[in-house]
């Protein structure tokens, strides 16, 4: 083993009944940012994403388009994989629940639960929503146009069939204890309160198998039954870590997962059922479930029927990859709902990226290129203003790390950009151009200090805008092995005398094309 601390982060695995949209891109992107952050901070990271391919919903969707389930799965799973690559996500594994390794893991956890007396055979009679792949109690249903519907608005049907049950009701106390662990296990707090009151309201045993369709993993020893798709789906997190080989290096290294990142729609599955299944199978529950908010499009719920689905491939083509990555992570407090609007995107691109950081880098590096023979100047004696800015630059990581550890990605960015604005103020106030003739040393000092800030900022923003950060670091001639967070701070200051490249704007302004 490497001896490095480890970090295991997962996205939900996405259903293949739908093509990927901005919501899916958002979750995967947030995980990518956190994974990249931890790698730069010296962790051994495993970042997992993938597709959820079983269940009645997928079976029905395939039939509706005249395909076999596996044909649909192959096609749409590929599209999700392409999206992750296209968004420059650095996942280490992409799991498909139709893989053999996953079937083995699911059957193993099932057997373990059975062995532990946590599963029994009975009859289910109740409401089921195929769209949500969820069972609902009568009391949870709403009535719309005299029709009973799920709280999510999805249609429900009455189901009566033989079913295996999981003894969920036995886990109330342990779950309530888990929510109160010292390190928060469910974030944000509002979501913790939501699942906590759900559990406090009393848990009923959960139906965990179905006999009315075939597309799934058979229950070991009774293949008339197919496992409930959520047991199957949640187990993906174990499969990828090496389960059932609990002695494997990867399992020992990465389980329990550090963060399951999910949307708020599926927090109950992750923060109630999943830890209960795990504890019942003598496996440690994850360290944290973080449920982020929901994106709407110009104020409207994103949905295929409304026809306002935002295609991430299209918006990246229009605005640029790093620009979209930055916008999604900065615009909305991570955890809250957010509204996607093109105007908001343009504002962020032009103000934060082009004006604040882009201009600062372009102006200072161009001055070095033109007025210092293209080499990094040697600083003269520092003034108090120079010392203050360098001292602040050296400390930024502390605040950024604290926010990232709470998944407050927007706040981490705010800290960095506040510092960029402050440096802009320094640059404008010190007026390096005014010393071009009178005091080249002073000019060189100001330019050096500004370039050093850019070095540190570029290192810090690598998780968010990896390509642009790399471009800045390349321009400054920072070697690739000197771009980790351990290289922030005073020990790795810019080397004077190094020839820099002719600067080329990293963050162009967005100018709308006339249509």
Cα Rg of the chain, angstroms: 26
Burial letters for 63-74: b for 16+ Cβ neighbours within 10 Å, e otherwise?
A: eeeeeebeebbb
Minimal distance, residue 475 CB to ligand ME8, in Å? 35
- Indicate whether 216 belongs to the interface with ligand ME8 (CB under 6 A): no
Which range, of 23-31, 66-74, 147-155, 485-493, touches ligand ME8 by CB under 6 A?
A: 23-31
Nearby residues of 110 by Cβ (< 8 Å), 6 or more positions away: 119, 219, 220, 227, 231
Burial letters for 11-39: b for 16+ Cβ neighbours within 10 Å, e otherwise?
A: bbbbbbbbebbbbbbbbbbbbbbbbbbbb
Instruction: Calculate ∠ Cα 484-490-495, nearest 5°.
Output: 85
For ligand ME8, the closer CB: 266 or 376: 266
Dist. CA 34–CA 40, nearest whole Å: 10
Burial letters for 452-469: b for 16+ Cβ neighbours within 10 Å, e otherwise?
A: bbbbbbbbbbbbbbbebb
Minimal distance, residue 46 CB to ligand ME8, in Å? 16
Chosen residue from 27, 323, 350, 456 binding ligand ME8 by CB under 6 A: 27
> Please, are residues 126 and 137 in contact by the beta-carbon 8 Å criterion?
yes
Dist. CA 196–CA 192, nearest whole Å: 6
For ligand ME8, the closer CB: 291 or 354: 291
Dist. CA 213–CA 111, nearest whole Å: 21
For ligand ME8, the closer CB: 122 or 265: 265
C-alpha distance from residue 18 to each of 120, 214, 267, 341, 439 (Å): 34, 20, 20, 22, 63
N-to-C CA span, the chain? 58
Dist. CA 283–CA 102, nearest whole Å: 17
Q: With contacts defined by CB under 6 A, how many residues of the chain interact with ligand ME8?
A: 20
Minimal distance, residue 55 CB to ligand ME8, in Å? 8
Burial of 183 (0-12, 13-18, 19+ CB in 10 A): exposed
Chosen residue from 7, 8, 9, 12 binding ligand ME8 by CB under 6 A: 12
- Indicate whether 14 belongs to the interface with ligand ME8 (CB under 6 A): yes
Minimal distance, residue 244 CB to ligand ME8, in Å? 18
For ligand ME8, the closer CB: 27 or 163: 27
Which range, of 10-18, 109-117, 398-406, 412-420, touches ligand ME8 by CB under 6 A?
A: 10-18
- Indicate whether 233 belongs to the interface with ligand ME8 (CB under 6 A): yes
- Indicate whether 94 belongs to the interface with ligand ME8 (CB under 6 A): no
Q: Which residue in the shown chain puts its C-beta closest to ligand ME8? A: 23
For ligand ME8, the closer CB: 87 or 266: 266
Cis peptide before 93 (omega within 30 of 0): no
Minimal distance, residue 257 CB to ligand ME8, in Å? 12
Minimal distance, residue 228 CB to ligand ME8, in Å? 12
Chosen residue from 52, 352, 356, 452 binding ligand ME8 by CB under 6 A: 52
Q: Bridge partners of 161?
A: 124
Tally of CB atoms within 10 A around 200: 12
Secondary-structure breakdown of the chain: helix, strand, coil percentages, each rounded to the nearest 5: 50, 15, 30
Dist. CA 305–CA 21, nearest whole Å: 14
Minimal distance, residue 468 CB to ligand ME8, in Å? 24
- Indicate whether 50 belongs to the interface with ligand ME8 (CB under 6 A): no
For ligand ME8, the closer CB: 40 or 262: 262
For ligand ME8, the closer CB: 8 or 507: 8
Minimal distance, residue 70 CB to ligand ME8, in Å? 17
Minimal distance, residue 443 CB to ligand ME8, in Å? 48
Minimal distance, residue 188 CB to ligand ME8, in Å? 14
- Indicate whether 334 belongs to the interface with ligand ME8 (CB under 6 A): no
Minimal distance, residue 279 CB to ligand ME8, in Å? 17
- Indicate whether 13 belongs to the interface with ligand ME8 (CB under 6 A): yes
- Indicate whether 302 belongs to the interface with ligand ME8 (CB under 6 A): yes
Q: Bridge partners of 124?
A: 161
Chosen residue from 7, 9, 24, 40 binding ligand ME8 by CB under 6 A: 24
Nearby residues of 510 by Cβ (< 8 Å), 6 or more positions away: 319, 323, 346, 349, 350, 354
Per-residue binding string, ligand ME8, 246-285, x by CB under 6 A, is: ----------------xx-xx-------------------
Tally of CB atoms within 10 A around 305: 7
Chosen residue from 26, 128, 171, 277 binding ligand ME8 by CB under 6 A: 26
Query: Which parts of this chain interact with ligand ME8 (CB under 6 A)?
Result: 12-15, 18, 23-24, 26-27, 52, 233-234, 236, 262-263, 265-266, 294-295, 302
């Amino acid at each position: 083993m490497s001896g490095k601390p480890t970090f295991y982060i997962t996205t939900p695995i996405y259903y293949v009944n739908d093509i990927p949209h901005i919501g899916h891109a958002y979750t995967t992107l947030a995980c990518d940012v956190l994974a990249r952050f931890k790698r730069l901070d010296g962790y051994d990271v495993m970042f997992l994403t993938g597709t959820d391919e079983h269940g009645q919903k997928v079976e029905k969707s395939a039939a509706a388009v005249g395909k076999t389930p596996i044909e649909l799965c192959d096609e749409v799973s590929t599209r999700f994989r392409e999206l992750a690559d296209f968004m420059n996500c650095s996942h280490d594994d992409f799991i498909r629940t139709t893989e053999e390794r996953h079937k083995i893991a699911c059957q193993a956890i099932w057997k373990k639960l059975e062995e532990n007396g946590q599963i029994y055979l009975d009859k289910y009679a109740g409401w089921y929503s195929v769209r949500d792949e969820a069972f609902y109690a009568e009391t949870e249903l709403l009535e719309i146009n005299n029709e009973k519907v799920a709280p999510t608005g999805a249609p429900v049907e009455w189901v009566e069939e033989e079913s295996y049950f999981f003894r969920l009701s036995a886990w109330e106390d342990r779950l309530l204890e888990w929510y109160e662990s010292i390190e928060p296990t469910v974030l944000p707090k509002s979501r913790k309160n939501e699942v906590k009151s759900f559990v406090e309201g009393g848990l009923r045993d959960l139906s965990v198998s179905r006999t009315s369709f075939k597309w799934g993993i058979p229950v070991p020893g009774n293949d008339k039954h197919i496992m409930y798709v959520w047991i199957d789906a949640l187990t993906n997190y174990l499969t990828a870590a090496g389960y059932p080989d609990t002695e494997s290096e990867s399992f020992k290294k990465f389980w329990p997962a550090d963060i399951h990142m999910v949307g708020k729609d599926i927090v109950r599955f992750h923060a109630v059922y999943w830890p209960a299944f795990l504890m019942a199978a003598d496996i440690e529950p994850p360290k944290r479930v973080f449920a982020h908010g929901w994106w709407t499009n110009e104020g409207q719920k994103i949905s295929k029927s409304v026809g306002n689905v935002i295609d991430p491939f299209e918006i990246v083509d229009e605005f640029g990859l790093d620009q979209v990555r930055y916008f999604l992570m900065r615009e909305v407090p991570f955890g809250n709902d957010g509204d996607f609007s093109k105007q908001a995107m343009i504002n962020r691109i032009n103000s934060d990226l082009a004006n604040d950081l882009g201009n600062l880098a372009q102006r200072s590096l161009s001055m070095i290129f033109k007025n210092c023979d293209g080499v990094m100047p040697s600083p003269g004696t520092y003034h108090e203003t120079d010392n203050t800015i360098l001292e602040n630059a050296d400390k930024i990581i502390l605040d950024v790390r604290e926010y990232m550890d709470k998944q407050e990605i927007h706040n981490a960015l705010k800290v960095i950009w506040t510092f960029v604005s402050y440096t802009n103020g320094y640059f404008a106030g010190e007026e390096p151009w005014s010393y071009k003739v009178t005091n080249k040393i002073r000019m060189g000092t100001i330019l050096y200090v500004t370039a050093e800030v850019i070095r540190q900022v570029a290192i810090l923003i690598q998780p968010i805008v990896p390509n642009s950060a790399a471009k800045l670091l390349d321009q400054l001639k920072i070697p690739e092995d000197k771009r980790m967070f351990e290289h922030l701070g005073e020990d790795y200051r810019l080397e004077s005398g190094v020839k820099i490249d002719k600067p080329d704007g990293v963050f162009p302004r967005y100018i709308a094309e006339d249509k």
